[in-house]
Chain A
Amino acid sequence: MIIETAKLNLYYGKFQALKNINLQIKRNLITGIIGPSGCGKSTLLRVFNRMNDLIENVRITGSVFFDKEDIYSPLYDIIMLRKRIGMVFQRPNAFPLSVFDNIAYGPRVWGMNDKMVLNEIVERSLTAVDLFNDLKDRLKTSALALSAEKQQRLCIARLLAVEPEVLLMDEPCSALDPIATGKIEELMQELKKRYTIIIVTHNMQQAARIADEVGFMLLGELIEFDSAKKIFTNPRDKRTFDYISGRFG
């Protein structure tokens, strides 16, 4: 167990976006979170690296454990948490910097200024997302010139550069075409060997293809959480069944 929530509730002002969430994420698996739009998937994901702290009027009750420690306890080091639990966003958002500076951003924030080491990190991170051969002669050019798929790979590489343990992915393929999506999914299978991945997706086929375990959310509640096989072939809850068979959402 790497991440665990207990009686987790989250409120945006008066609106309750997460209701009594109890779930357990296992190490080195891909966990998919599915559910209709607005059910709280992104909100849940952002609980894990405390990105919701950046939004005003957010209130959280219950507990979230990462490696057995409560990340919402007052003394918990948020900056360290965000290093260990990284996030890939929906839209491939490279900084308007060079390829190199994009990847070196995280390490530099963490105080690494040694050019040799940075070179190594950049090479290693780009290799991990299968971009190095492509970009090794273009490290100084703008990252914004890359295609959407390559930018998303670059964003993953930028994240890997800080050596996280968990990758949170919020619909990482929704801005990509099917071929690019397939490639990113392959990459995720590769990354799974070294990282724990939690992916939010609208796309049930995608969840079925890549996830080991799947949670189904509806209106802020975690309705069902089980192995992907079970969820997609023999769900316990009728609402899950309705959703995966396309009755709503």
Chain B
Amino acid sequence: MTFRVGPRTNQIIAYTALLIMTVITIFVLFFIIGFILKNGLGQVSLKFLTERTTDMGKAGGIFPSILGTLFVTLLAIIIAAPIGVGSAVYLVEYTKAGFVRRIISFGADCLNGVPSIIFGLFGFIFFVITLNFGWSVLSGGLTLAVMILPTIIRTSEEAIKTVPRAYREISYSLGGGKLDTILKVVLPTALPGILTGVILGIGRAIGETAAVIFTAGSSLGLPTSIFSSTRTLAVHFYILAREGISMPKAYATATVLIIIILLINFIAYRLVHRFIARYY
């Protein structure tokens, strides 16, 4: 005798299974965030955010690390976003679909899967040693730029590809050149998708530890130039926890990191939606 269920029962089972998985995912997410916030939120104060770090991190605040994170990430985005979007435009608009484009896309996908410590090692050997930038904001930013570049290229590429062919044809039919078409039609239409890629990149850069600890260093001094060594929030958290310096401070740092990431995602989400609501 075979076991059979009706299509309706099937539906119910599938629905329930999917629901459970969703609930688990959301639960895990909220559990992690909740756990960190519960342990960390109590220590976060204006003083903690604005004071210099003292006694290896046992005391004081995390101001240098906030600045360091900001600088390194900003530098990475300033470098990676234009290059990434530019490459995507070049790939989609100026090369024929075919072997070369597939190779490049494949390469970008592979790079996306490379563990970040490898990028850290590369950055250390190339930027820190060979180019002699030392442990610095510059080395860290460049390394992160290399690391997030594939994400930005691939998401931008997909976004640009989804711009309807008709839009391009209309632009040409009105006498638009290739550059007009790209700048005034293709990029604005693809902007939400491109922004999504850039935000993913920012998220990855901010939370990154392995790639920056080798390249930006772990100095607790205030970063004053792009050649200063600095310690990002993620690295600071890692060192505090790993070396058992201060768990409360570690949680507090993690809390700040999480809040920043949530904030960026929220702002970006609002931006993209405002853009979409305006014109779509």
* CB contact list, A76-102 vs B, under 8 A: 79-80, 82-83, 86-87, 89, 91, 93, 95-98
Interface residues of A in 105-127 (CB under 8 A from B): 105-106, 108-110
> What's the Cα separation between A108 and B280 when bound, in Å?
22
For A153-193 the 0/1 string (1 means CB < 8 A from B) is 00100110010000000000000000000000000000000
* Residue A51 is within 8 A (CB to CB) of chain B in the complex: yes
A82 touches B172 (CB 8 A): yes
- Bound CA–CA A105/B168 (angstroms): 12
A106 & B167 in contact (Cβ 8 Å cutoff): no
Once bound together, how far apart are the Cα atoms of A89 and B170, in whole Å? Answer: 8
CB pair B279 A142 closer than 8 Å: yes
Closest Cβ of chain A to B98, distance in Å, is 11
Chain B residues touching A, majority SS: helix
Chain A contributes a number of interface residues (CB within 8 A of B) equal to 28
Residues of A with C-beta under 8 A to B175: 79-80, 82-83, 106, 109-110, 162
Contacts of A223 in B (CB 8 A): none
Is A49 located at the chain interface by the 8 A CB criterion?
Answer: yes
Interface string of A19-58 (1 = CB under 8 A from B): 0000000000000000000000000000001010010100
Determine whether A139 belongs to the interface, using a CB cutoff of 8 Å to chain B: no
Contact indicator A96/B172 (Cβ below 8 Å): no
| Residue B166 lies at the interface, judged by CB distance under 8 Å to chain A | yes
B64-99 CB mask vs A (1 if < 8 Å, else 0) is 000000000000000000000000000000001000
**For the complex, is B109 an interface residue (Cβ under 8 Å from A)?**
no
Contacting pair B185 A87 (CB below 8 A): no
Task: Report Cα–Cα, A98/B167, bound state, in Å.
Answer: 15
Q: Given that A86-B174, A91-B166 are known contacts, is A109 also in contact with B180, CB under 8 Å in the complex? A: yes
- In the complex, residue of chain B having the shortest beta-carbon distance to the beta carbon of A54: B172
In the bound assembly, the distance between CA atoms of A202 and B66 in angstroms comes to: 65
B189 interface residue, CB < 8 Å from A? yes
B280 touches A144 (CB 8 A): yes
- Interface code B258-277, partner A: CB below 8 Å = 1, 0 otherwise? 00000000000000000000
| Cβ contact within 8 Å between B174 and A89 | no
- Report B168-189 CB contacts with A as 1/0, cut-off 8 Å: 1111111111001000110011
| CB of A87 to closest CB in B, whole Å | 4
Confirm or deny: B113 has a beta carbon within 8 angstroms of a beta carbon on chain A: no
**B184 near A89 (CB under 8 angstroms)?**
no
Tell me whether A108 and B184 are in contact (CB under 8 A): yes
Q: Report the minimal beta-carbon distance from A134 to chain B, rounded to whole angstroms.
A: 19
B279 contacts A89, C-beta separation under 8 Å: no
- Measured between C-beta atoms, what is the minimum distance from B112 to chain A in Å? 29
The residues of A that contact B173 with a CB separation of less than 8 Å are: 49, 51, 82, 86-87, 89, 159
Give bound CA distance, A106 to B176, whole Å: 7
Which of B170, B177, B180 is A95 in contact with, Cβ under 8 Å? B170
Q: Which A residues lie within 8 Å of B170 (CB)?
A: 87, 89, 93, 95, 155, 158
Docked CA distance A62–B131 (Å): 60
- Return chain B residues, CB-CB under 8 Å to A109: 171, 174-177, 180, 184
CB distance from A229 to the nearest CB of B (A): 32
Instruction: For B189, give the chain A residue with the smallest CB separation.
Output: A96
Contacts of A51 in B (CB 8 A): 169, 172-173
CB B230 to nearest CB in A, in angstroms, measures 41
For residue B162, give the distance in angstroms from its CB to the closest CB of chain A: 12
CB-CB under 8 A from A86, the residues of chain B are 173-174
Q: How far is the CA of A162 from the CA of B166 in the complex (A)?
A: 19
B window 121-178: CB within 8 A of A: 164, 166-177
Q: Is the CB of A158 within 8 A of B174?
A: yes
Query: Shortest Cβ distance from B175 into chain A, in angstroms?
Result: 4
A159 to B189, CA, bound (A): 20
Interface residues of B in 22-60 (CB under 8 A from A): none
Q: Given contact pairs A95-B167, A109-B174, enumerate 9 new A-B contacts (beta carbons under 8 Å).
A: A51-B173, A54-B168, A97-B188, A105-B184, A108-B184, A144-B280, A158-B174, A159-B173, A162-B175
A–B Cβ pairs within 8 angstroms, 9 of them: A82-B172, A82-B175, A89-B170, A95-B167, A96-B188, A142-B278, A155-B170, A159-B173, A162-B174
8 shortest interchain CB distances as A-B pairs: A83-B175, A106-B174, A87-B173, A96-B279, A109-B176, A82-B175, A93-B166, A142-B279
